[in-house]
């Protein structure tokens, strides 16, 4: 007979296996940009409101969601260039700084005028390592100030003829910007673009946009509202912010992605939420919460997956104290342990994009360490596998009855975090 007694009936009901959960999907279009030898140079990231592979929606909303989708869907951020179409406010408000400068090309559309504020913001971003592309560039005198900042000039081969293109070439001479021919639809257009000096190419002749999809990580909106309020206090309270973020697995993942970008070129790892927060700073965190909220307006209730993630996190935190381990590290492990389910993506691929320590990554992948056994134990509790619970309890050397009490406490805590009035 197992030494861990089943919890009381109300708790057993709470941890019964949940029915399949339908999680809303998010989408992102990605069209390749090739060089003259048809080698991949980068991708343009395209906003998609749903499974239909075409743009629809408000440009401001689209830019914010593309930035947020990048944090969730693009794991190979440092290997290939990402061209991101930007609105004026995304540049001047610094929202684009959530993206890694080494691999991000910020596209400035033709309709965005280069006033003093925009040029100043672009110069600041340029000094941080971001590159710029002038999208759909036309030979207007008012666009000349942007040429000094441009790394790429994109010419729409469906919209402008040879005479206008020749004016663009003359205007761009000496700028050092590479010419990118977009909307190339046949071999003749490609040959003409090459003969005119274009070195990068994009269009249906090579590939239509590929639609990337991922299940949306559930959001805790109460946490978002409190977090935004806390971030606008002066001074901010790091411990309160850390506590609020600890209530949302999706925010933790985004923070780790931004921290990973901040670590480029510098050896380092993070093992707690606080370390990641110190790495990215308050401004980046504020921007990240803003763009994360952009795609969350239509989903107003937290799901069972979020509740399970919070319960796992708190259970791992409690068990860390009993094992003389670091509670903050164990909490983060529990919170991240459902990412593969949330994204329907292999966990190994997800872990490539976050700067966790090797030990934490190994624990999430199921090594033989103490942290991994803590995760295995909470999974056994969720499935009411009492023999497996007893086996792990003995391996960890825990006192009989302690584990069930910890798990019951974790369930109550998760309900409290999600605002359940019955808890």
Structure tokens that stand for 118 in this block: 């925009």
As a whole number of angstroms, the distance between CA 420 and CA 422 comes to 5
As a whole number of angstroms, the distance between CA 89 and CA 33 comes to 26
Handedness of CA 371, 417, 26, 278 (dihedral sign): negative
The vertex-62 CA angle with 61 and 66, nearest 5°, equals 120
- pLDDT by residue, tens only, the chain of 423 residues: 344 444 433 333 333 333 333 334 445 677 888 988 888 898 888 765 544 434 445 677 777 777 776 766 565 444 688 899 888 888 998 888 888 888 899 999 988 888 999 999 999 999 999 999 999 888 888 888 999 999 999 999 998 999 999 999 999 998 889 999 999 988 899 999 999 999 999 988 876 665 555 555 555 555 665 675 666 566 667 788 887 787 777 778 778 877 777 655 555 677 888 888 888 887 777 667 766 654 453 344 445 666 787 788 889 989 998 888 888 788 878 877 877 776 666 777 777 766 677 888 888 888 888 889 999 998 888 877 778 888 888 888 887 678 878 888 888 887 766 655 444
Residue 73's Cβ-side half-sphere holds a number of Cα atoms within 13 Å equal to 24
Rg (C-alpha) for the chain, rounded Å, is: 25
Beta bridge partners of 281: none
315: nearest Cα among 411, 238, 183: 411
* Domains annotated on the chain, with CATH: 9-19+301-417 (no CATH), 26-214 (3.20.20.450), 218-294 (no CATH)
What CA–CA distances, in Å, run from 314 to 115, 274, 301, 408? 50, 16, 21, 11
């Amino acid at each position: 007979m197992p030494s861990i007694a089943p919890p009381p009936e109300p708790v057993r009901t709470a941890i019964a296996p949940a029915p399949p959960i339908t999680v809303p999907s998010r989408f992102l279009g990605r069209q390749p940009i090739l060089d003259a030898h048809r080698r991949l140079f980068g991708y343009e990231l395209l906003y998609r409101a749903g499974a239909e592979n075409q743009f629809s929606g408000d440009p401001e909303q689209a830019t914010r969601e593309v930035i947020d989708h990048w944090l969730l869907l693009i794991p190979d951020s440092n290997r290939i260039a990402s061209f991101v179409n930007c609105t004026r406010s995304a540049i001047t408000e610094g929202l684009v700084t959530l993206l890694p400068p080494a691999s991000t090309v910020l596209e400035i559309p033709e309709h965005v005028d280069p006033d003093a504020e925009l040029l100043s913001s672009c110069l600041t971003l340029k000094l941080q390592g971001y590159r710029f592309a002038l999208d759909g560039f036309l030979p207007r005198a008012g666009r000349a100030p942007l040429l000094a900042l441009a790394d790429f000039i994109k010419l729409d081969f469906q919209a402008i003829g040879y005479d206008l293109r020749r004016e663009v070439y003359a205007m761009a001479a000496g700028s050092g910007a590479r010419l990118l021919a977009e909307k190339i639809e046949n071999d003749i257009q490609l040959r003409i673009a090459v003969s005119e000096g274009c070195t990068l190419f994009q269009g249906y002749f090579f590939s239509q946009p590929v639609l990337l999809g991922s299940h949306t990580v559930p959001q805790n909106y109460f946490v978002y509202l409190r977090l935004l309020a806390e971030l606008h206090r002066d001074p901010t309270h790091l411990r309160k912010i850390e506590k609020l973020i600890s209530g949302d697995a999706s925010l933790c993942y985004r923070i780790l992605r931004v921290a990973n970008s901040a670590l480029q070129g510098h050896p380092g790892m993070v093992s707690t939420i606080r370390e990641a927060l110190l790495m990215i700073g308050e401004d980046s965190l504020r921007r990240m919460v803003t763009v994360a909220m952009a795609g969350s307006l239509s989903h107003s209730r937290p799901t069972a997956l979020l509740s399970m993630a919070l319960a796992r996190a708190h259970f791992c935190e409690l068990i860390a104290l009993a094992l003389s381990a670091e509670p903050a590290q164990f909490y983060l492990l529990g919170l991240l342990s459902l990412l593969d389910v949330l994204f329907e993506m292999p966990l190994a691929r997800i872990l490539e994009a976050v700067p966790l320590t090797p030990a934490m990554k190994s624990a999430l992948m199921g090594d033989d360490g103490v942290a991994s056994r803590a995760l295995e134990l909470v999974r056994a509790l969720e499935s009411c596998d009492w023999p497996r619970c007893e086996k792990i309890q003995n391996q960890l050397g825990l006192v009989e009855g302690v584990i069930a009490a910890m798990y019951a406490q974790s369930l109550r805590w998760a309900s409290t975090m999600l605002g359940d009035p019955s808890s």
